[in-house]
Amino acid sequence: MAYKLEAFSEIGLDESLLGVLLGEHERGRVPTLRRLWLYYRNPEESRGGNSGWDGRRRLAQEAGLPARLTGAPRDETAIDDRDMGRKEIVIENDIGWRVHAMVDFMFGKPIQVLSTARDEDKRKTIGRVLDAVWEASGGVGLLQDIALLGHVYGYVDVMVRVDERGLGLLSGRTLDDVDFETIAESIRIEPVEPTRGIPLMDPSDYRRLEAFVTVVERELNVTTREDRRGLFGRQRARAEERTERRKSTRVEIVSGTAHQVYENGHLIDEREVACTGGAVPVVHIQNLSQPFRYEGLSEVEPLISLQDELNTRLSDRASRVTLQSFQMYLAKGLDGFEKMPVGPGVVWSTDNPDASVEAFAGDGHSPSEESHIEQVRESFDKVSAVPPLASGVVRAKIGNLSSANALKITLMGVLSKTARKRVTYGRGISQISGLVLSALDATGVLKTERIDRGVRIQWADPLPEDSVDEASAAKTKIELGVPRERVLEELGYAATDPGVQ
């Protein structure tokens, strides 16, 4: 491979440094990040072939179970001196539903991105443009994807892709002549999965990006058999009797001034970046801020050990219940008892006066086991700050408070954590919107000054709302002088809706 990185010489990125970045990312960060995703998603996967080493597929979280339960072979994982037969496996993915609950609290309802420009007409225009761009890129679904990646990995990078040529064609035309959907088609907001993104940070400022590299391995619509050339290549393909899709590695490098794309080491696209004012068109969002670190705090990482413990104890209990759920018999002095039927109305007979049959087993109560499992679940609640009530499971008495206050007190942990995340995600949304406005200004589509590119995020209440209380609060806001149109937007209405006066 021969990379042509002269365009990035000012930031010190050469072929040697790029190779180091790619190697460190693949060997160091990717395995850790994939483990976080596997524990969140818990997909069914095979180990050792298409059907696993014993002919069955496994769930990803089984990797954290001890060998006495999984019955793994000696060359796969550490074992003890107990029976290595596979036991009943019970996997309860507590991580998955807690992550989903946190994402729902963040972006379960649409948000409003409001301009803080000084001029009222400019504020309305900017607001309509930003709404069109965000909706064209996915709307609330895009925000939920960003939040999901951030919660699992601890951070997420968002790239703003600008079609400068497309926006250039709109330059000089007034916004009255161009619909906002046309503008939105030239700008795309795209989250980058951390397993694919490699940041190149400023050595003197860990918060500043100098360049951003994305690495994607993708399958092409070309098979290996079609790609072989010559008589011997085709004969070899027929002998193998298999056809696979070709894979390609795509490397994309972007800085504040240049953009390059490589396919299997060959440069296929190169252009200048002029519409971002020298800034890398990538916004970094931490899930929960972590000082002096590029990565934020993941919601999955602190729950992995608890998830392993819960799955282990649930599997142990399943094995015990299976063993003790049926009566077993110890027969003495009965020849051929193993062949005798056992059932209602069956009579056993023998000439041995010393013969006996003793029944044992049967499920017994294990209070220590139940207590331990319950304590593990409570540890989940404390570490994640997401109680079962967040998913609709009511297990405790609410008390004598009103319903709204009771919910807020019970969900205080997840509400407080959501408020913290609104700082980091809100800052990211503001920076993304600023890049969009900067691109529109540079191409002449929507001229703005830097001071007018700020936005304010209006968040929806994640808890259920009473329509009577909403109407009363809206009336109070109008009496205080809040614009009527804004109050209607908060209620989910538009001034043009039928019946709205």
**What is the predicted pLDDT for the residue at 494?**
61
Could you count the other beta carbons within 10 Å of the beta carbon of residue 296? 21
pLDDT digits (tens, 9 = 90+) for 228-270: 555 455 555 555 555 677 888 999 999 999 999 999 889 999 9
With cut-offs at 50, 70 and 90, classify the pLDDT of residue 443.
confident
268-304 pLDDT, tens digit each: 999 888 787 788 999 999 999 988 889 999 999 999 9
Integer angstrom CA distances of residue 459 from 424, 462, 463: 13, 9, 12
**pLDDT of 157 strictly over 60:** yes
Which band of pLDDT confidence, cut at 50, 70 and 90, is reported for residue 49?
A: very low
Q: What per-residue confidence (pLDDT) applies to 171?
A: 67
Count of Cβ atoms closer than 10 Å to residue 223 Cβ: 14
Polymer length in residues for the chain: 501
**Alpha-carbon distance 145 to 122, whole Å?**
30
Distances (CA, A) of 383 to 414, 422, 488: 11, 19, 39
More confident residue, 74 or 353: 353
- pLDDT, position 445: 84
**pLDDT for 409:** 76
Report the pLDDT value the prediction gives residue 178, as an integer from 0 to 100.
67
According to the model, what pLDDT value does residue 491 have?
Answer: 72
Task: Look at residue 457 and tell me whether its pLDDT is greater than 70.
Answer: yes
Do 260 and 253 contact (CB within 8 A), yes or no? Answer: yes
Query: What pTM was computed for the model?
Result: 0.83
pLDDT at 60: 92
**Per-residue pLDDT averaged across 54-71, rounded?**
82
Instruction: Say yes or no to pLDDT of 172 above 70.
Output: no
Q: What is the pLDDT of residue 469?
A: 72
Any idea where the domains of the chain sit in the sequence? 6-41+94-302+415-458, 465-501
Element (H, E) at 103: helix 94-107
Q: Which of 110, 60, 65 is nearest to 300 (CA)?
A: 60
Q: Nearest-CA neighbor of 285 among 59, 20, 106?
A: 106
**% of the chain with per-residue pLDDT over 90:** 42
Query: Residue 81's pLDDT band (boundaries 50, 70, 90)?
Result: very low
